[in-house]
Chain A
Amino acid sequence: MSENEPFDDEIKNYEGELIEFLLSAPLFGFQKSIYYTIKAYFITRKNLTQDMIHKLTGFSRGKISQELKKLVENAFIEKSKISRTGEITYSMDSPKKAIIKNFFNSQKEIFDFYNELNELKKEMNAEKNEIENLYGYTDVYELLTLLTASLPLTMKVIEVLEKELASLEK
């Protein structure tokens, strides 16, 4: 049976339930958006063409094309086949790898925020004499200290995610 064949209705119903779950469960870090809906369909289907996504989701072809481009750029999917008529099949090999990559990317971006948080803390330190008696100073400063102190842990998480991704690549 080809992996590109359409699903029977009963299976499609379960797939719909799973897509809804993926988009709403906080654990996956997905959002209810066109980008994540398409990504979720790649998790359930593996191989999809633009036409198949259009039939499954009803999203416009233009929008689908834009989001597919982003998914390819972010290395979540790849072009796996081009038919004689020029139709492209996109593939997501491993759902595990895709979800881990999602986490990895977000952790890396959060890592960049640390510089900003450190800057913010430095500003507060520089103004300490004028602001330390203001109501709320301790609350903001304490939280900033905590966030900046969590940097080594974030780095450790990134390292573990990176290792896992590398082993999945192999």
Chain B
Amino acid sequence: MIDQKKINNLLEIIGKIAQNYLENNKGGHIKLLKEKLKDFLTDPIWNEKLILELKNKINKLDLSNEDFTSLWNVINRRLDEDYSDYVERKSHMFEGKIREYEKRVIKFFVRAGKLKGQNYVLATIIGCLLLHKRNGLTQAQMKELTGLSKGAISENLKLMEASPILKKELIKGTRKYLYSLGGDFSAIASGTSVYKFETNEYTKKFLQSMIINLEPFQFRKGHKILLERIQGILSFLEFHRKIVGLITDSEFVKGLGRENS
């Protein structure tokens, strides 16, 4: 609880501010003063000494309204340029509260990935690449975003390189690579479908070649049961193909293509 005496002191100052404001800004609404004052008292930006220094220096220039407008245009341009530079330099760093949302979405990918058998690092990388699909990410940027070790990131990117989903481009004039999931969501979905069909085909071939390799051992203990079980997995692959087909031909995936055409 704040001491009433202290509150009275503050209210005395507030009274003077309000009086000055209403006299100097004829017709100025008190609501505007309230908003400005609250912002001044609560936003940490106003604790920045440089802002006060800037204000003092500009006040000393004793500018006319016209001069101030031209100065403000120059300041405005400089702020825009600085912001563009920052975004370019830190294009992987989302701003303020968006970072929190980003982390929560990535957590979703980690949990969903775990259910699909993906490890934590791989699921985190996929989440990051989906969120940063506009600019892509370097390994160093992924490290900064996730706090994962360089080795773990590099190892999992190598795993992903086997799929057509991941795009890797050398950044001109550097030895760094830019990783991305290759374009818009439609392209990602289509790349994922191709990859799933290819994985299905590869698995089928692996199992079929194992059946052939097992042939010379048909009278050995375990042959019959292992063969039956491999046939069972092959039967699953047929079903898996149907599911991938259902996803690829779904309205949802087709809609992604239409949105981008």
Q: Which residues of A line the B interface, CB within 8 A? A: 1, 3, 5-8, 10-12, 14-15, 17-18, 21, 25-31, 36, 43-46, 94-96, 99-100, 103, 105-106, 109-110, 113, 116-117, 120, 123-124, 127, 130-131, 134-137, 139-140, 143-144, 146-147, 149-150, 152-153, 156-157, 160-161, 164
**Total inter-chain residue pairs, C-beta < 8 Å:** 159
CA gap between A3 and B222 in the complex, in Å = 8
CA gap between A147 and B239 in the complex, in Å = 25
| Cβ contact within 8 Å between A29 and B226 | no
CA gap between A120 and B98 in the complex, in Å = 12
| Cβ contact within 8 Å between B94 and A135 | yes
Task: Name the interface residues of B121-147: CB closer than 8 Å to any CB of A.
Answer: 130-134
| Cβ contact within 8 Å between A29 and B115 | yes
Chain B contact-residue range equals 35 or more
Report if B58 contacts A (CB, 8 A): no
- In the complex, what residues of B have CB within 8 A of residue A149's CB? 252
Report if B101 contacts A (CB, 8 A): yes
Closest to B214 in A: A14
- In the complex, what residues of B have CB within 8 A of residue A161's CB? 243
Main secondary structure of the interface of A (DSSP, over half): helix
| Cβ contact within 8 Å between A11 and B223 | yes
| Cβ contact within 8 Å between A157 and B246 | yes
CA gap between A147 and B200 in the complex, in Å = 24
Interface centre among A30, A117, A146, A149 (most CB of B within 10 A): A146
| Cβ contact within 8 Å between B105 and A156 | no
CA gap between A99 and B235 in the complex, in Å = 11
| Cβ contact within 8 Å between B117 and A28 | yes
| Cβ contact within 8 Å between A5 and B117 | no
- Name the one of B226, B235, B239, B250 contacting A153, with C-beta atoms under 8 angstroms: B250
